[in-house]
Amino acid sequence: MRQTDRRTASHGRQSGVEEHKGHKTLAAIMVIVLIVIVLGGLYILNSEGKINIKWLDGVDRQLSEQVTPVPAEMSEEFTIEPEITPNSTPEPTEKVYIPDIGELQELPDPTIIALTDNKLNVEITAEVSAVNWDEYPDASYYVLAVYNSNYVEIQKDILWSNITEWQVPGFTSGKIILYVYKDKGEDGAADDEIIDIYAHEVLPVDGEEINFAPTKNKYYLLVDKSSFAISVFTYDETGEYNVLLYTFPCALGESDRMTALGTWEISSKGPWKLWSTGWYSPYYSRFTAGLYIHGAVYADADFSTLSPTSYEKIGTKATSGCIRTTVEGAEWIYYNCPAGTIIEIVDYSDLVVYPGKPAIDPDYPTWDPTDPNKPGN
């Protein structure tokens, strides 16, 4: 009986040991599984707990190509130059809605607008007349309208409120009116209010031929994507845009969809476009939501801080949809192509040929070589 008890007890102890070993083995397996899960999670998730894009790259590459591109004003792409540090992006300011040309309210009758003394200064020259004014603190945007001596509208520009000077090509007599607008916070211009008006009139001299009354836009812009160029046409005696005036090189969207084919109108303009990255581009003219014609990329709102790489990429697919051109091209379009000027983007046109671009001056590598203010120009 005692032997049986001893055998039973011995067997019980052996079974307990084996059971304990089994538990240890199971615990080890669970630890290994847990380690695999944690390591896999660290690989799949980044430090912010979001899916690791590199891990998904092979999976979602085709899907990502179908995503609508972010507007260029939010993600203009370029290579940061090591010798230049851009300013940090400022804190967001009050959002202002700047209307397109087709959304503007009908302007008042120019014949009833009273002239204002010392508000709008106009300097007349043979080719370009200079207009300037003091910044209006409460302005959301300006509309500068130019009329000939018969009070027929010659051109109209929608300008951001930080602009205090403008150029009017070919103006010798007539009336220039600056409408100061306050945006009331709603999309569209229906609720916007004219809070002030500046007006200046230049009378024709004896014997001067009165400016003709234009029946259409003076210029027409044609972008050839295959040539990476934007050409400026004006009309001939038949009224067709058959006269080629200028061709400027340009960079276009990195994918074909980013700079889409179609016809648009120039609308609002500004001297420097501040991108979300803290970098700038000069002489921007908007032609559709989030897309602009503009100069290359700069570290500051200063023409001596060019990013050379952004200039070198003119003539390639390098933007997020904008049309990036030289200072020469961007400035010419900025001043000479008023709101409403047609811009057409096509895949190919035998009317447009890539004109090339001058090399960067090694003595001034952070200047656009086409900039008339570059030292040595």
235-259 pLDDT, tens digit each: 998 889 999 999 999 999 999 889 9
Q: Are 284 and 327 in contact (CB under 8 A)?
A: no
What is the distance, to the nearest Å, from the Cα of residue 285 to the centroid of all Cα atoms in its chain? 8
The two three-digit tokens of residue 176, written as one number: 């220039």
- Window from 28-37, 48-57, 135-144 with minimum mean pLDDT: 48-57
pLDDT at position 66 is 39
Average pLDDT, the chain: 81
The whole-angstrom separation of Cα 35 and Cα 9 is 39
pLDDT top residue among 250 and 25: 250
Which residues touch 11 (CB under 8 Å, ≥6 apart)?
A: none
Mean pLDDT for 333-354 is 96
Task: Decide if pLDDT at 105 tops 60.
Answer: yes
- 151-180: per-residue pLDDT in tens? 989 899 999 999 999 999 888 889 999 999
User: What percent of the chain clears pLDDT 90, i.e. is strictly above it?
Assistant: 58
Task: DSSP letter for 111, please.
Answer: G
pLDDT for position 77: 42
pTM: 0.72
